[in-house]
Amino acid sequence: MPVNTFAVTNPATEEHLDDVRIFTPDEVTEAVVRAKDAQRTWAKLTLAARQSALYAMAEAVGEHVEELAQLESRDVGKPISSARAEAQSVAEVFRYYAGAIDKLSGDSIPLDGGMTITIHEPVGVVAVVTPWNFPLPIASWNVAPALAAGNSVVLKPASLTPLSSLRLGRIIEEVSPVPGLLQVVTGGGGTVGEALLNHPQVDKISFTGSTEVGRSVLNASAHDIKRVTLELGGKSANIVFADADISQAARSAPGAVFDNTGQDCCARSRILVQRDVLDEFLEEFIAATKALQVGDPADENTDLGPLVSSSHRDAVAKFLDDDGVEFIYQGDAPKGPGNWLAPHIGIDHTADSRCSREEIFGPIAVVIPFDTEDDAVRLANDTIYGLSGSIWTGDLGRAMRVARAVDSGTLAVNSNSSVRVQTPFGGFKQSGLGRELGMNGLRGYTELKSVFLSSE
Ligand code: NAP
């Protein structure tokens, strides 16, 4: 029977990169059944065997960093320097979770007549669905802890950018002691994705993507009461107080919003600046943005590549028609071929424009002036999202007060930091459900069992 395929293109050149297979529903079932068998074998291996398998996976990824980075750069349009760092981070995530395998301890709870111990059991087969903006890192944040906790994984990458995940799947399969531990299925979200998530032998869903699709994933989980982790959209605030090092805040702001051409769930796309320092901040922010090099992702000096697709570029460009924003800066970008859009900076005095409220997922930053600390917190929280954000201040007390008051899963003080493998990552409100990374991320791939031990 002929295999159906879809085409994958390079967003910087519009060149055809590859044709990728569309899995049939029967093939999705085959992958899940194979994953079930693999999981039973994998979970019975000793801790030491599982640990050395994950270290071997880390090493194998490490040996393929350049290949994975080149693939990712061409498929996503990501600057090669970023793609290289991301591919390297995948090896680090596998290494971290290899080391965590024998540290997944439970509690002992003293009771009259005995005690209860708690044990973290694997969930079973995990379906991991990933978006197109960080295909490799996001796959690793889910695959590595899921395997470390004794599960198997069926991964469905985004159709725009499946190539690095397919390669990762083959790299892992080559060193895995159990065949079928990680399988990659490809095809549309509404067909292959839904077939996977609705499969009765899938025990947990880990979905990263838009809040809109996240809602339908939550619905899909309801029938079998599947375990679910959701990492969804964001509209994070970068809050700059007048008592901060304004120069440092302004020079780091372009990276916080324009990295990955703004296609970042953690993008600090609302920049709240205390009015007293607005002019000073804008001058340095614009100067630092001007210095960004937009162009060929293969060039080692490129900072920003194209947007992932022409339809996404057009959707982002529509935000430039927003009457509620006064655009004060527009950068340069190549004319084409490719899905290019230059970085833009606007000011919104009411904080009520479409650009200030919706996730843009492109290179558009909105600066919103504020007067008091209370105003800053109110504006930061005036969103359905709660994923990330930064607070720039020289006052430690203020940093602590504002960090406690902002409804967000991940915050940084005087920094743009969002994701570290050691620390939990995830969203408040409609930015998600559950946490990835760190030991919390590992526990998220387990069921907690209580066992009472009688002393009578
Ligand atoms: P998306 O449209 O929600 O798609 C994400 C994934 O879900 C893709 O693999 C997609 O497959 C699949 N999918 C779509 N419909 C589905 C369905 N009905 N059932 C099962 N799977 C389905 O998101 P995106 O456009 O790729 O990514 C951008 C979004 O992801 C942004 O909102 C961003 O904020 C969010 N994101 C969040 C995080 C985080 O950690 N919080 C990280 C990165 C990105 P197809 O590609 O085949 O349609």
Domain count, the chain: 2
Q: Ligand 1: distance of its center to the CA of 131 in Å?
A: 4
Q: Which DSSP helix (H) or strand (E) runs through 378? A: helix 373-381
Say yes or no: 393 and 287 in one domain. yes
- Is 312 near ligand 1, meaning CB less than 6 Å away? no
From first CA to last CA, the distance across the chain in angstroms is 65
Q: How far apart are CA 403 and CA 393, in angstroms?
A: 11
Say yes or no: 303 and 333 in one domain. yes
Domain of 268, CATH number, reads 3.40.309.10
Is 309 part of a structural domain of the chain? yes
Say yes or no: 193 and 331 in one domain. no
Say yes or no: 195 and 313 in one domain. no
Active site residue 265: yes
Please state the φ and ψ torsions of residue 28, each to the nearest 5 degrees: -65, -45
Is 84 part of a structural domain of the chain? yes
Ligand 1, from 213, 311, 421: best to mutate by most atoms within 8 Å of Cβ?
213
Question: What range defines the domain where residue 184 resides?
Answer: 5-232+431-454
Is 426 part of a structural domain of the chain? no
- Is 435 near ligand 1, meaning CB less than 6 Å away? no
Which residue puts its alpha carbon closest to atom 31 of ligand 1?
A: 210
Say yes or no: 343 and 194 in one domain. no
Say yes or no: 22 and 170 in one domain. yes
Hey, what are 6's tokens?
Answer: 């879809």
Q: Ligand 1: distance of its center to the CA of 55 in Å?
A: 29
- Is 266 near ligand 1, meaning CB less than 6 Å away? no
- Give, for all 456 residues of the chain, the pLDDT tens digit: 678 999 999 999 999 999 999 999 999 999 999 999 999 999 999 999 999 999 999 999 999 999 999 999 999 999 999 999 999 999 999 999 999 999 999 999 999 999 999 999 999 999 999 999 999 999 999 999 999 999 999 999 999 999 999 999 999 999 999 999 999 999 999 999 999 999 999 999 999 999 999 999 999 999 999 999 999 999 999 999 999 999 999 999 999 999 999 999 999 999 999 999 999 999 999 999 999 999 999 999 999 999 999 999 999 999 999 999 999 999 999 998 999 999 999 999 999 999 999 999 999 999 999 999 999 999 999 999 999 999 999 999 999 999 999 999 999 999 999 999 999 999 999 999 999 999 999 999 999 999 999 999
Say yes or no: 103 and 135 in one domain. yes
Is 399 part of a structural domain of the chain? yes
In DSSP terms, which residues pair with 425 in a beta bridge? 436
Say yes or no: 297 and 203 in one domain. no
Say yes or no: 28 and 168 in one domain. yes
Hey, what are 191's tokens?
Answer: 């067909």
Note whether 126 and 142 are within 8 A (CB): yes
Given 231, 266, 359, 436, the catalytic residue: 231
Which residue puts its alpha carbon closest to atom 39 of ligand 1?
A: 231
Give the DSSP letter string of 270-332. EEEEEGGGHHHHHHHHHHHHHTPPBS-TTSTT--B---S-HHHHHHHHGGGG-TT-EEEEE--
Is 425 part of a structural domain of the chain? no
Q: How far apart are CA 64 and CA 117, in angstroms?
A: 42
Which position has the token pair 């309801």?
A: 222
Q: Ligand 1: distance of its center to the CA of 232 in Å?
A: 8
Note whether 137 and 89 are within 8 A (CB): yes
E strands, 236-275, are 237-240, 270-274
Say yes or no: 193 and 291 in one domain. no
Q: Please report the atom of ligand 1 found closest to the CA of residue 160.
A: 46
Q: How far apart are CA 192 and CA 25, in angstroms?
A: 7
Say yes or no: 174 and 289 in one domain. no
Is 153 part of a structural domain of the chain? yes
Say yes or no: 55 and 150 in one domain. yes
Is 51 part of a structural domain of the chain? yes
Domain of 440, CATH number, reads 3.40.605.10
- Is 393 near ligand 1, meaning CB less than 6 Å away? no
Amino acid at position 158, single letter: A
